[in-house]
Amino acid sequence: MGNKSILILGDGTEDVLRLRDGLDKEGFNTLLHRRRFTGPVQISDDEADLILVDLDQSGTMGVNICREIRQKPRLRIAPMMVISGRDDEAEEVLSFRMGADDFVQRPFRTRALVERIRARFRRPELHDPAGDMATSQGIEIDRVSYRVTLDGKELSVTPTEFNIIWHLVCHPGKVFGRNDLLKICVGTDSSTMQRSIDVHIRSLRRKFGQRASLIETVRGVGYRLRGHVFP
């Protein structure tokens, strides 16, 4: 995993420092941004391959940090994981809505989380006949410029949401199970992360507004983009 950079935002609690050491041993380049965010958020536009945000060490500014990261041109396409000690579904959902791709609850096992991060970088390359462009029913996706538009209006999506909608648009009518989407978009099919797919789907539907019904739920199976399966 050499040359992959990870930006860690927080004060550097003992468990986060252990995580940083574990990532360093795996060959990642880690940068710990030590400060408690109690005032205006100021994050440089340095490039990172993955971002970790410690919500417990960012005060009430945590979700604002997530939102600001997604406004940085060089950071908005990097996967973002948030760490929290609160067993609060509302905070988890809000984190996803503000741009997080993954939610990690304390206490966490250092080795398991290192492997979870490694899995994101092992995600297979996408090989679709659409090449770098995909369109369906008013949805247009450009993987070169990293843009998603719906009826001509650009949508702000997270990296995980981008990968989900890309696969749905490339295969209209085809059902993808939660495990399928986890393997494609995250690089793992861990059962503990299946709920995150549901949250990302809800977020995409919210962003689709009146056209949310384009993303259909197949009860007990998974999700698909409304349309016909092409041979």
Residues 114 and 148 in one domain: no
CATH of the domain at 63: 3.40.50.2300
Helical ranges in the chain per DSSP H: 14-25, 62-69, 89-97, 110-121, 159-170, 178-185, 194-208
Could you report the per-residue pLDDT of 16-73, keeping only the tens digit for each?
889 999 999 989 999 887 655 555 555 666 678 899 988 765 544 566 777 777 777 7
Are residues 46 and 117 both part of a single domain?
A: yes
User: Mean of the pLDDT values across residues 68-83?
Assistant: 80
Mean local confidence (pLDDT), 1-10: 79
Task: Let me know how many helices (H) and strands (E) the chain has, helices first.
Answer: 7, 12
191 plus 159 within the same structural domain: yes
Whole-structure pTM value? 0.66
CATH number at residue 208: 1.10.10.10
Query: For residue 125, what pLDDT is reported?
Result: 46
74-103 burial string, b = 16+ CB within 10 Å, else e? ebbebbbbbbbeeeeeebbbbbbbbbbbbb
Any domain includes 230: no
Q: What are phi and psi of 34, to 5 degrees?
A: -85, 105
Bridge partners (DSSP) of residue 180 are none
The confidence score (pLDDT) of residue 189 equals 53
pLDDT at 112 over 70: yes
Beta bridge partners of 84: 105
Answer yes or no: do 26 and 103 share one domain. Answer: yes
Q: What's the domain count of the chain?
A: 2
Residues spanned by the domain of 146: 133-225
